[in-house]
Amino acid sequence: MMLAIAILGCASLCWALVHRKLRAAWITGPMIMAGLGALVGALSVNGSAEFFDSHLALYIAEVILALLLFSDAVDVRGSVRAQFGPVPLRLLFIALPLSVALVIAFGFVLPLDLSTAAILAVACISIPADFSPELSILKDKKVPNRVRRWLSVESGYNDGLVSPLLLGALALGASAQASKNDALGALLKAAPAGLLAIVIGAVLGVALGYLFRTALAKGWADRQSIRIGIVAIPITTFGLAVTLGANGFVAAFVCGIAFRFARGREWEDKVELTFVEDLTSLVNLMLWFAFGLSAVILIGATYDWWPTLFLALFALTLGRFVPVWLALSKSKVRPKDRLFMAAMGPRGAASIVFGLLAFNALPPEEGYPVLAATTMVVLGSLILHGAGGAILINKLYGQRHGNPDPAPTSLP
Pair 106, 311: CB distance under 8 Å: yes
- Whole-number pLDDT of residue 319: 94
Per-residue pLDDT, averaged over 375-390, amounts to 83
| 3-state SS assignment for residue 131 | coil
Quick one: CA dihedral 173, 191, 55, 125, positive or negative?
positive
Residue 180 has pLDDT above 60, yes or no: no
pLDDT of 392 > 70? The answer is: yes
Q: Is 365 helix (H, G, I), strand (E, B) or coil?
A: helix
Q: Residues 99-107: what's their mean pLDDT? A: 94
> Which of 120, 111, 113, 155 lies closest to 137 in space, CA to CA?
155
pLDDT tens profile 223-281 = 778 888 888 899 899 999 989 988 888 899 999 999 988 887 666 555 555 656 667 77
Q: pTM score, two decimals?
A: 0.77
What percentage of the chain carries pLDDT values higher than 70? 76
pLDDT at 406 over 70: no
Confidence (pLDDT) at 126: 93
CA dihedral angle for residue 268, residue 274, residue 277, residue 283, rounded to 10 degrees: -160
Kindly report the number of other CB atoms within 10 A of residue 149's CB atom.
22
> Is there a contact between 153 and 88 (Cβ–Cβ < 8 Å)?
yes
CA 261 to chain centre: 21
Look at residues 227, 253, 214, 225 and name the one whose alpha carbon lies nearest to residue 68: 253
Structure confidence at residue 1 as a pLDDT band (50, 70, 90)? low
Beta-carbon contacts of 113 under 8 Å, excluding residues fewer than 6 positions away, are: 369
Compute, in degrees rounded to 10, the torsion defined by CA atoms 15, 16, 20, 26: 30
Q: What is the DSSP string of 192-204?
A: HHHHHHHHHHHHH
Please, which residues have CB within 8 angstroms of residue 196's CB and are 6 or more apart in sequence?
241, 244, 245, 246, 247
